[in-house]
Structure 1
Amino acid sequence: MSAETIRLLLADDQALVRGALSALLGLERDLEVVAEVGTGEEAVAVAAELRPDVALLDVEMPGIDGITACARLRAVAPATRVLIVTTFGRPGYLRRALQAGASGFVVKDTPAPQLADAVRRVHQGLRVVDPALATDSLVSGESPLTGRESDVLRAARDGASVAAIAGALFLSEGTVRNHLSSAIGKTGASNRTEAVLVADGNGWL
Structure 2
Amino acid sequence: RKIAFKDRMIRKGEWNLHSNQLNHRMKGAVLGLIGYGAIAKRFHEKTSAFGFSKVLVYDPFIKREIITNKGASPTDLNILLSESDYISIHVPLNDTSKKMIGEKQLNLMKKNSILINTSRGGVIDQQALIDTLQKKQIAGAGLDVFEKEPIPNNSPLLKLDNVTLSDHTGWYSEESLKELKTKAAINVLAVLKGGQPIYPVNNL
TM-score with structure 1 setting the length = 0.39
Q: Is the helix fraction higher in 1 or 2?
A: 1
Query: TM-score under structure 2 normalisation?
Result: 0.39
